[in-house]
Amino acid sequence: MAKKSWAYDNPVYRARYSAPINLPAVAASTTNAKFIAFAAMKIKSIRANINIAGTATTAGYDILNGTTSIGELACGTSAAGSVIAAILPTAANGTLAENGFIEIKTKAASATLASSAMVEYELTPGADITA
């Protein structure tokens, strides 16, 4: 498909979007999911809702942009249905180029933890969009 970019003030660049990510229970210290940028964008926040509680107070997720940590979702032994406070990446570490990605890894002692996450983002003005 063809790609195109619009004027910097086009509404497509001013809106905020969200993408759900399922985080099933996986082995501790393992990549659980990736959010891959389809265009240049800025990650505004990442939050999670617990589906299955962790069994250790250190349970949670590390959020990485390449090898740079942009935060963590500390879940601990919070009950199913608990909403975990959002992380708010800085402009520098929350910026993704097209085909860049955010990696979500379980922390140590997180093998039973399962959650649903949401990535909030906005497209970088002038970014190429598949038409």
DSSP of the chain, one letter per residue?
--EE---TT-HHHHS-EEEEEEE----TT-EEEEEE-SSSEEEEEEEEEEEE--SSTT-EEEEEETTEEEEEEE-TTPPTTPEEEEE---TTTTEE-TT-EEEEEEPTT-TT-EEEEEEEEEEPTT--EE-
pLDDT digits (tens, 9 = 90+) for 118-130: 999 999 988 888 7
Confidence of residue 6 (pLDDT cuts 50, 70, 90): confident
User: In the chain, where are the structural domains located?
Assistant: 19-124
18-76 tens-digit pLDDT = 999 999 999 888 899 999 999 999 999 999 999 999 988 899 999 999 889 999 999 98
CATH of region 19-124: 2.60.120
pLDDT greater than 90 at residue 103: yes
Query: What is this structure's pTM?
Result: 0.87
State the pLDDT at residue 122. 93
